[in-house]
Amino acid sequence: MNQSLTVTTIQTTLHWEDKALNLKMIEKKINEIKEKTEIVILPEMFSTGFSMRPEKLAETMDGETVQWMKRVAAEKKIILTGSIIIKEEGLTETGKPRYFNRLIWMLPNGQYGVYDKRHRFAYAGEDAAFTAGAKRLIASVKGWKINLLVCYDLRFPVWARQSLASVPTASPEYDILIYVANWPDRRIHAWRTLLQARAIENQCYVIGVNRVGDDGNNIHYSGESMVVDPMGEVLYTKKEEEDVFTIALEKDHLNTIREKFPFWRDADKFQVLNDDED
């Protein structure tokens, strides 16, 4: 499995709470990608911006944004991913509707996987507006395994940590860690530092896709989307500007690092329990 995997990141401004305009704008950027690519990664809440008004903006899994993702992925023959605001049936324990900040992993054939953001950003009220996810999503593409997470999850290393089987010959759980985000400029040092830390400690590629511009709450985003190799070396970053960037990740490079520096074999064995478990 010494294949390369070609990935495109889209760092863009977002039109505040305007789904139609965002989808039109992003589709134009996707159509303008000249290189052959296999995965296109969009920011967190790419159709609305990081809004705490799910009662106004949420849609179902049969809604317009998921249908748009299906169409674009099929037409461009790509995997398309990013997070949106989704409403599910049923109520929370407090009797409120269930809203999720949900990452969609859309395949060209219309099948998809989902990851609901585990760590909600209480500083902005996300914990009050959205329900927490409980399960990770690790996708598989061409022999690569990809762990998909959202923004604030970056601050919690246990949730991203490679989980190894008890036998010493086990291989790492995944090869690429992706974070889609709306990470403000005022805390961008943490973004840069933690993306590199996650790559080093998990000996994997890390991709962080952030937005740029100002949102409806006058919060500024400087982007600084990054691609980091398994040694923590930054292969790509872009500050302040909109940018569409395509890169081929090399399995040979990843395997060489893991074989030469097999630090992952010495990792602690652990289990992450859900909140309702003892």
Pick the catalytic residue: 38, 70, 151, 238? 151
Pick the catalytic residue: 38, 117, 126, 238? 117
Q: Which residue has the tokens 């099948």?
A: 111
CB < 8 Å & 24+ apart, contacts of 33-38: 33/8, 33/244, 33/246, 35/6, 35/8, 35/246, 36/6, 37/6, 37/7, 37/8, 37/78, 37/246, 38/5, 38/6, 38/7, 38/78, 38/79, 38/141, 38/142
Pick the catalytic residue: 38, 44, 59, 224? 44
Would residue 151 show up in a list of annotated catalytic residues for this protein? Answer: yes
How far apart (Å, rounded) are the C-alpha atoms in residues 29 and 45?
17
Angle between the 19-31 and 64-76 helix axes, to the nearest 10 degrees?
10
Would residue 224 show up in a list of annotated catalytic residues for this protein? Answer: no
Would residue 117 show up in a list of annotated catalytic residues for this protein? Answer: yes
How far apart (Å, rounded) are the C-alpha atoms in residues 227 and 249?
9
Active site (catalytic) residues: 44, 117, 151
